[in-house]
Amino acid sequence: MQGDTTDRTPWPRRAVGFLLGVPSAVPAALYLLLTAVVLGPFLLRPRHRPHAVGRLMPGVRRLAALERARRRVFFGDRFPRHYRAQDPRLLRYLVARAGGGLVTGAVLALLGFGAGLAVLLAGGVLRGSLGWAQLAIQVLLGGVLLFLAVQGLFSLAALDARLARACFGPSEAELLRRRVAELADSRAAVVRAVDTERRRIERDLHDGVQQRVVALAMLLGRSRRGLERHQDRELTAELLRQAHREARGLLTELREVAWRAYPSALDTLGLEEALGGVSERCAIPLRLHYEVPGPLPGPVRTAAYFVVSECVTNAAKHSGASAVSARVVGTAALLTVRVEDDGRGGADPAGSGLAGLRGRVAALDGSLHVHSPVGGPTVITAELPCA
């Protein structure tokens, strides 16, 4: 989230943080001045510039980190955790921050000088050495200068906040561009996932259900011809028994295909019972831990189910695992799904199955993490926002 200042931060704390920006700007200005004197000739030469910049930037990063800490501690700014500003942006920020801090110090010094003059003016009034006309002129000029100084301090404080947001957090336009790009990527991922799911269902129907229907039709055809020709009753009875078994297998296959497409238990019984069905059908032992305090939104519930189902299926088919565990833990704001198996590892995060899961999770503004070193274990963690 973009860095901002919470309104709940007390104003005395913000004032202290703003005043501390003056002494913190002094070492920044001195560092920039000294490095400009020492490294300036090298910075002007293209051949030596990378080496000179390499010497310049460590100090810039440390001073910028000090300013970031000041904004966070005294102003309550929240900057993106994983955002790291590039070196040119840090350098521009430190130059502007040093200039702004020194100007703030100058304005504060003028205010202090004005306060001293006000004390002298009050002393002159008490001694009677200052006429009313002179007093009015001095008060008018002092009031105007005080107003300008206070407005200048407010503007410098706003500049300090804008500089911090521009350096330590993406701008609003950049955040909007990123959000648009994320939505476009997630939409494309969802389209790919839906297309992959359709192909998988078509393959299941063609390779499984259709073959069973063909076999059933052949068995029933042979049985019908045997009955019409009054052939061996034992052979006909055996054909009918095979047809009956094939019909039962066909029903099971259809049930499995329907369950993989969308389990009705999710709507009728909930996520925990649907995951229990995954555990019953799993070819290897599945240990399930479910700890969710309340009902989940429908899309989150569906995504969590398919994460567990797909990961368990992959573990049983491809990893050579002997056991797998699934942990589903939720709060009011976040549902965490963690699936771990003891297989050989080496899962490809860009594979069709995991890529489809990542697209499904990303469509809900969630994240999917895959840790699968060669030799195992494989740990897949999905975080799904519930709000």
- Provide CB contacts within 8 A for 350, sequence distance 6+: none
For 327, the token pair is 């942990």
- Residue 19 domain-assigned (yes or no): yes
Looking at the structure of the chain, the number of domains it has is 3
- Residue 178 domain-assigned (yes or no): no
Of 111, 140, 170, the domain-final residue: 170
- Residue 1 domain-assigned (yes or no): no
* pLDDT bucket at 29, cuts 50 / 70 / 90: very high
Tokens 């040093």 -> residue: 98
For 288, the token pair is 């399930």
Torsion-angle region of residue 38: left (phi > 0), alpha (psi -120 to 50) or beta? alpha
Amino acid identity for residue 307 in this structure: V
- Residue 187 domain-assigned (yes or no): no
Range of the domain at 200: 192-261
- Which CATH number belongs to the domain containing residue 304 in this structure? 3.30.565.10
* CA 365 to chain CA centroid, nearest Å: 8
Distances (CA, A) of 356 to 14, 179, 219, 258, 306: 47, 20, 39, 19, 10
Q: What is the 3-state secondary structure (H, E, C) of 307-335?
A: HHHHHHHHHHHHCCCCCEEEEEEECCCEE
Question: Does the pLDDT at position 141 exceed 70?
Answer: yes
CA dihedral 236→242→247→248, nearest 10 degrees, is 140
Mean per-residue pLDDT over the chain, rounded: 81
> Region 253-281: what's the mean pLDDT?
73
For residues 82 and 47, state if they share a domain: yes
Determine the pLDDT at residue 310.
84
For residues 78 and 113, state if they share a domain: yes
Question: Does the pLDDT at position 6 exceed 60?
Answer: no
Tokens 């975080």 -> residue: 383
Determine the pLDDT at residue 357.
81
For 324, the token pair is 């797998």
Residue range 184-200, pLDDT digits in tens: 776 766 666 666 666 76
User: What sections of the chain are H helices per DSSP?
Assistant: 11-43, 49-75, 87-127, 132-168, 172-204, 210-228, 233-261, 265-268, 271-281, 298-318, 352-362
For 191, the token pair is 């389209």
Q: Which helix (H) or strand (E) holds 291?
A: strand 286-291
- Residue 185 domain-assigned (yes or no): no
Determine the pLDDT at residue 151.
92
Question: Does the pLDDT at position 3 exceed 60?
Answer: no
Distances (CA, A) of 325 to 2, 119, 287, 328, 382: 37, 77, 5, 10, 14
For residues 228 and 89, state if they share a domain: no
Determine the pLDDT at residue 82.
65
Backbone φ and ψ of 295, nearest 5°: -65, 150
Angle at CA 7, nearest 5°, toward 4 and 9? 95
Question: Does the pLDDT at position 2 exceed 50?
Answer: no
Question: Does the pLDDT at position 30 exceed 90?
Answer: yes
For residues 25 and 85, state if they share a domain: yes
What's this model's pTM, rounded to 2 decimal places? Answer: 0.48
